[in-house]
Every structure is written in C-alpha cells, then in structure tokens.
Structure 1
C-alpha cells in the first residue's frame, strides 16, 4: 500500500513491507526538508519558530508516485491527504493515468482520505485489514471508501498560525481567536475541509470538549481511535486516559506527527480520528 507522508504511521508500521510512503517536502526560509525517514521534528520546530515567514509545503510529483507503483504489488491502493488541503491527491491521480497507459490491466485506486495525519493512518490500516482477508480489489475499494465516509477527524492546536498563513482556514476568524488566546476544537467535513467544532480557554478544556463529543457519538463504540501528537507525548497519554473513562473504543493507537503534520499541527498539537 502506498501513502503520502502526511499519513503518520508509527515507525514500526513504516518498517513493514505493507506500507510505502511517498514524501512531501517542506520549505522553511531557504531550508528544504524532505518528509521521509531523515525527518528531524525538533529541527523543524526550531526552524519554524525562528523563521519570520510561514513554512511552505509541496506535494510529490507524479513521477514519485510512479516510482512507488513499480513496487511489484498486484493491487495498488494509494492513500493521500485531503484533496482540499493538498495537491498530493491530484498528483497521485495523474500518476495513475500514466501507469494505466503502460499497464492497462493494472488495478490502482487512489483514496482521497478527506482527512490527514491520524485519519490517513486509520484508512491505511482498514485497507490493509480488508486486503489481508483476500477480498476482491473492488470490494476492498468499496468497503474502505464507506469506512472513510464514516470516519471522524478532530484536532486541537496550540496555535493556528501556520494553518492561517497557508490559507487552510477558509472562513475562520483565526486572527480574532488568536488575539483572545482562545483554543479551537476543529474538525474535518465529509469533503475534507477544516471547520470549527468548539472553543475553550485552554487546550485541556478543548480536549475535554473533544472527548465529550466522542462519548456522545454512538458510532465510536468498537472502533479504533488514532491519536497523533506533535511533540507532546504526555498530552497524548492524558487524552488516552480521558477517553478510556467515557468512551468504548476497541483500542487506542498513539503516533507522532511526521513533517507535514508537524507544520500544521505545530508544537503541542493533537489530531484524532476514529
């Protein structure tokens, strides 16, 4: 399975042969970071803090996806971050068209996760689970697509600056909330656009609101919860304990943000999906 590097799989999962990550790139000032195994989160956070301009991210070129398609798999499942947030999905689609011209019998599907980070992780694990059952290609695609449609993504950030500067907060009054030091609880629409779900005066209160929403959502029962954190492992474990007291997830997976998610979650950010 092929994922873009906004899919924040754990290091152990990334070492498995089931997953192949195609890196996006990040520019901070004059410095370029490739979001691959060489990524240094502490260095990126420091550079973003020191740089006066917003970091810029670039999606993979179609050629990078084409290289990944040559992995030898019979069925190619590709998962990208929301098409409304990045050109990664469009790039993968272009690569698919080129690949099929040379390999007309190939089976390739590009999933628009309509999410990012923890949401991509859940979709990747679901696709692997379905494929491991030996289900036909189209069955895997249809069931994984249904899973994606029903998935919920939420996040709480210490700062919205990078999202605002890069135009990912369409319609949000991030300048006002920043001035008032309000912490927003954000979510993703079914189409993959960011929207506001609540607000609080502290991250802890915003996370409590997040848990409250999850506990009232009957659909969460029996599902896997993925928590991605940006340099705040203790906060992620605190959230895990809060969730365990009032929710009924089958399991809780904690992972760390890679380069792209680090840019937008920023230091102290938490992203969840179920």
Structure 2
C-alpha cells in the first residue's frame, strides 16, 4: 500500500525522511515583534534567535489550519497519517482532525488517521519513523494504528532548557505549582506526562549538572533500549547534544541514535541552548 505521513513542523525530519517521498511537513507559523516566520525549509534559526534576543516580546505561534491539513490529505496515497504536537500544548491536533472531517465531507471516506504525539520535536520524528517501519512491513492500516499508538504510550520525552520563559509566557507550564528561580542558575529537568503535558522531574544547579540529571532521569526509565532509537534535538548547541548522547551510550546500547537541530517551533520553545531527549 502507498502511504504518506504528515508531521507538523514542531517535528524535525531527518535528511532520509525528506528524501523518501513519504513525509510532508505541515508548517506552523511564528510572530516575533510583528515579523512573520513560516516554519518550513526557509527557517533561519540564527536570525530567529537574534530577533528573539532583541525583542521585549514573547514570540507567538499559530498552528496549521484545518484547510491546510485537508490539502495534505488530498493525495494519491492510500494510507495517510498525521503526527502532531501534543494536543495538551497546541491546537495542531484538533486542526488535523477537523481537516480530516472536511476532507471526508468533500471527497468521501479515506484511510486517514491523526496521531496525538503527546510529545514534541524529535518525539514526533520517532513516531513518523515508526509509522514508516510498520508500513514497510506490510501491516494493515488498523494494525499500523494499533502498533504506533502502543509505541506512543511507551515513549518518554525529557528536556533541559536555559530558560523556561517562552513556555511560561505562552501558558505551556500551566498546572505546575512552582518553577525554580532562574536567578539562582537552577535548571529544572522537565518531562512529558502520559497525557502529553509538561511536568518537572528534578533540578540541578547549572546547565552541565542539569543535563547530567536529565540523563539520570532517562536512564531510570529505559527499557529494551536495543530495540529503540535514541533521539536528541538541540537548539544551537550540538556539543551539548553529543555530550548527552555519550552519557546515555555509557548506560545502554540503542538500535540507532539521531541528533537533529531544532526547527522553528521547537527553537521557539527550547530557546538558545535547549536540549530535548526522546526514547
């Protein structure tokens, strides 16, 4: 069966995914002080980070419209999947579902399924790769859905950022009773909840200790790592990402390791120096 996987632009695509012909990106958009940025191949991370640093305002994002998803569903592929940023953090999931409804109203039934990643960034990347793996094995549409939903249930997302300001100001940390004072250079180790919201797992003084603490959190929850891909994304700090990779490889072996630089939306939330790990 032919298939297509649409990943909203919070999820980074590897070069292999871009070349495969099976993956498309549904772009979110960002506004910084009135400057409009489409999160696609034209995204310039260095320029974006300069604009954010110079701005007194918090950048804002908007998700793809239902009509945009509907356009992506209108293709020759027999099986179509969308993977979105956690529904707890963005309207992208609801938009993708509405797009499916619009498509079916206009064109009739089609095998379309929307996955709520309950994650972000490389969490979405891994889900896209899992879909492709299942399709290449010749699984039925329903079997792919069941297998990938089970995979999402087992997936864990962790991150350490230089600053939580954008997450705070955009309401992505609602429900957290306290966030440690950045004036003390305390770095919270954050992670995903089973529902796809954000929780604080631990904390440490300084970024190096924060990253080491994150590695401890990852290691404490690792299972069957030889069957899994370790995925790391970073915002303008490749050496930190590699250091995290090396620390984790000292603890376990993995089927593969992916390190990607964050695209637009992930750069907005991770901010300069942020590192995200998904297993």
Matched residue, 1:262: 267
CA root-mean-square deviation: 1.3
CA–CA separation in structure 2 for the residues paired with 1:36 and 1:194: 25
User: Matched residues in 1 for 2:24 and 2:200: separation?
Assistant: 33
Partner of 1:109: 113
Deviation at 1:248, TM superposition (A): 2.5
1:173 Cα deviation after fit: 5.6
* Counterpart among 68, 75, 99 of residue 71 in structure 1: 75
Please give the TM-score of this superposition, normalised by the length of structure 1. 0.96
Query: More deviation in 263-272 or 63-72?
Result: 63-72
Aligned-pair CA distance for 1:176: 4.2
Query: Shift in Å at residue 258 of structure 1?
Result: 0.3
The question of 1:146 aligning with 2:127 is answered no
- For 2:22 and 2:181, the matched residues in 1 are separated by 42
User: What is the rounded CA distance, in whole Å, between the counterparts of 1:262 and 1:16 in structure 2?
Assistant: 25
- Among 86, 95, 100, the alignment partner of 1:82 is 86
Deviates more, 1:75-84 or 1:203-212: 203-212
Which of 188-197 and 217-226 deviates more?
A: 217-226
What does residue 187 of structure 1 align with?
A: 191
**Correspondence 1:231 to 2:236:** yes
Alpha-carbon displacement from aligned partner over 1:130-153 (angstroms, at most 9, x marks no partner): 011111000000100000011000
CA distance in 2 between partners of 1:16 and 1:41 (Å): 24
Are 1:119 and 2:93 matched, yes or no?
A: no
Distance in 1, Cα, partners of 2:271 & 2:240: 14
Residues 1:128 and 2:138 are matched in the alignment: no
Q: Superposed, which structure 2 residues align to 1:90-101 within 5 Å?
A: 90-101=94-105
Note the C-alpha offset of 1:172: 3.1
Query: Do the aligned partners of 1:10 and 1:256 also contact (CA within 8 Å) in 2?
Result: no
Partners in 1 of 2:90 and 2:69 — Cα distance?
Answer: 15
**2:246 maps to 1:241:** yes
- Find out whether 1:252 has 2:253 as its counterpart: no
- Bigger shift: 196-205 or 6-15? 6-15
Moved over 4 A (4+): 173-176
Deviation of residue 212 (structure 1)? 1.6
